[in-house]
């Protein structure tokens, strides 16, 4: 075990809340998909700063852009004042939105994804003069009071009183052992109809909601891609009733799914697009894309100090330049298919790998241990123990990945998008040997 980490843990145990006890190491350096710890051991990083490092660690282009910026004499932080970097970044960002962003405007929100979620919720209420928000089970939108209120997982809400009121949850269509019992395209169709009836019922009795907020591919919720027809139906119903559709692309955006944005697969146009993580090239930045007709802020109505991170914008421009290169997104899709296929091929040898799913390089592996009980809906409830053990063994094999899902029973892979074919091969090798050890 890692000596530095253990000593440090003794020294700081009670003073520093350290992120993952499940990743007990101290990082010395990193390049591409590889992290080296202080003892010189190398790890393949399939967490990538929770998806922020689209181009991996210390990508040459990003380093060059940051170095050039640092010696340029330009200010590092400029609140929301105008700079050429901000202009270039905004232009690059608008150009990847639907119709090259002609119908959208950008609101710089602050450093973290939750900042942009909060802005979206506020603006939806202001723009529609309505009070309530619909969210979906299993969704994740952040840890602040509003973002947490629309987050589907009840765990982090425990004992947090007076979260933002007026949030109603509707079932998200899971394609595997859906808690509603409605899996697959057919189940999703039924849920979409129920959503429509639900909205029509609300309309008869009380004011309509201001917005729905959803992830096209739920990340923390266990990598659940929404069926296309369900998304299209939600878009149709929301449009018909003047309900804003807020799509949270914090994790699934910027090439992660093999498309610039995950919603593109369904051919829909959200009213608001929540963006963060990879847009700052690994540095903190969050932005809300808003359809212009809903940009109802009065001047100064929404502010925040850290909205002018020039370094994040420089790194963001560099990231977008790479994502825009011909074939780049195609190769993300291709590697994603290959990895998913290889992991699916393991399923016949390892029945605990219940489902391998995802889009592009946003991959989830649902782990079940059939000995465990079902919940009241009859859906299997993995308690996450086996998944935790697999994650632990992966770490020992030098493979870093995360877990998600209702009970932490979904292993999640979010490798840098620049991962090579050989590195994908290495991921599968390491995963399988970790799996062998975990089920022994």
Q: Tell which residue, 253, 292, 307, has the closest CA to residue 275.
A: 253
Strands 133-136 and 402-404: unpaired
**With binding defined as CB under 6 A, does residue 282 bind ligand PMP?**
no
Smallest gap from Cβ 52 to ligand PMP, in A, equals 8
List 357's β-bridge partners, or say none.
364
Which H or E run contains 29? strand 27-31
User: In the Cβ-directed half-sphere of 16, how many Cα atoms lie within 13 Å?
Assistant: 10
* Binding test (CB under 6 A) with ligand PMP, winner from 37, 45, 118, 215: 215
**With binding defined as CB under 6 A, does residue 220 bind ligand PMP?**
yes
Binding segment toward ligand PMP, per CB under 6 A, in 21-29, 113-121, 159-167, 331-339: 113-121
CA distance 184 to 271: 27
Give 69 or 140: the residue with its C-beta nearer to ligand PMP.
140
The SS3 of residue 412 is strand
**With binding defined as CB under 6 A, does residue 112 bind ligand PMP?**
yes
Binding segment toward ligand PMP, per CB under 6 A, in 98-106, 212-220, 334-342, 405-413: 212-220
**With binding defined as CB under 6 A, does residue 65 bind ligand PMP?**
no
**With binding defined as CB under 6 A, does residue 219 bind ligand PMP?**
yes
Specify burial of residue 351 (Cβ count, 10 A radius: 0-12, 13-18, 19+): exposed
Give 219 or 225: the residue with its C-beta nearer to ligand PMP.
219
* Binding test (CB under 6 A) with ligand PMP, winner from 37, 248, 366, 402: 248
Give 251 or 393: the residue with its C-beta nearer to ligand PMP.
251
Using CB under 6 A as the binding criterion, the count of chain residues that bind ligand PMP stands at 15
Binding segment toward ligand PMP, per CB under 6 A, in 4-12, 135-143, 359-367, 425-433: 135-143
Taking residue 74's Cβ as centre, other Cβ atoms within 10 Å add up to 15
Are residues 120 and 279 in contact, defined by beta-carbon separation less than 8 angstroms?
A: no
What is the dihedral angle through the alpha carbons of 79, 82, 86, 88, rounded to the nearest 10 degrees?
A: 180
CA angle 99, 104, 110 (to 5 degrees): 130
**With binding defined as CB under 6 A, does residue 50 bind ligand PMP?**
yes
**With binding defined as CB under 6 A, does residue 257 bind ligand PMP?**
no
CA distance 259 to 277: 16
**With binding defined as CB under 6 A, does residue 251 bind ligand PMP?**
yes
* Binding test (CB under 6 A) with ligand PMP, winner from 233, 276, 309, 340: 276
**With binding defined as CB under 6 A, does residue 141 bind ligand PMP?**
yes
Given the rule CB under 6 A, which residues bind ligand PMP? 50, 112-114, 117, 140-142, 215, 219-220, 248, 250-251, 276
């Amino acid at each position: 075990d890692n000596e530095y980490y253990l000593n440090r843990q003794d020294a700081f145990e009670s003073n520093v809340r350290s992120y993952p006890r499940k990743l007990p190491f101290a990082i010395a350096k990193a390049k591409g998909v590889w992290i080296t710890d202080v003892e010189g051991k190398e790890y393949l990083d399939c967490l990538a700063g929770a998806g922020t490092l689209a181009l991996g660690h210390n990508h040459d282009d990003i380093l060059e852009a940051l170095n050039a910026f640092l010696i340029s004499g330009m200010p590092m932080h400029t609140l929301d004042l105008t700079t050429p970097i901000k202009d270039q970044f905004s232009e690059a960002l608008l150009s990847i939105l639907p119709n090259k962003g002609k119908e959208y405007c950008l609101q710089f929100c602050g450093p973290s994804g939750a900042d942009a979620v909060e802005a979206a919720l506020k603006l939806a209420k202001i723009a529609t003069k309505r009070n309530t928000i619909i969210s979906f089970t299993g969704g994740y939108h952040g840890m602040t009071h509003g973002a947490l209120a629309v987050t589907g997982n009840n765990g982090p809400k425990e004992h947090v009183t007076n979260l933002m009121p007026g949030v109603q949850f509707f079932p998200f269509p899971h394609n595997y052992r859906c808690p509603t019992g409605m899996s697959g395209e057919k189940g999703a169709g039924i849920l979409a109809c129920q959503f429509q009836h639900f909205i029509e019922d609300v309309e008869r009795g009380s004011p309509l909601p201001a917005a729905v907020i959803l992830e096209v591919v739920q990340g923390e919720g266990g990598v659940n891609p929404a069926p296309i027809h369900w998304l299209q139906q939600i878009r149709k119903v929301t449009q018909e009733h003047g309900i804003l559709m807020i799509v949270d692309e914090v994790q699934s955006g910027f090439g992660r799914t093999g498309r610039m944005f995950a919603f593109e697969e369904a051919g829909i146009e959200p009213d608001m697009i929540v963006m963060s993580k990879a847009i700052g090239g690994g540095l903190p930045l969050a932005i809300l894309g808003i359809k212009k007709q809903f940009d109802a802020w009065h001047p100064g109505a929404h502010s925040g100090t850290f909205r002018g991170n020039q370094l994040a914008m420089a790194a963001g421009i560099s990231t977008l330049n790479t994502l825009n290169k011909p074939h780049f997104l195609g190769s993300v899709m291709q590697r994603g298919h290959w990895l998913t296929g290889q992991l699916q091929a393991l399923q016949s040898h390892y029945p605990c790998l219940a489902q391998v799913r995802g889009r592009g390089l946003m991959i989830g592996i649902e782990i079940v241990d059939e000995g465990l009980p079902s919940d009241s809906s009859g859906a299997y409830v993995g308690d996450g123990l086996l998944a935790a053990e697999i994650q632990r063994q992966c770490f020992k094999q030098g493979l870093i990945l995360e877990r998600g899902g209702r009970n932490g029973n979904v292993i999640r892979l979010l490798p840098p998008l620049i991962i090579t074919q050989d590195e994908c091969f290495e991921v599968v090798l390491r995963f399988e040997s970790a799996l062998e050890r975990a089920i022994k």
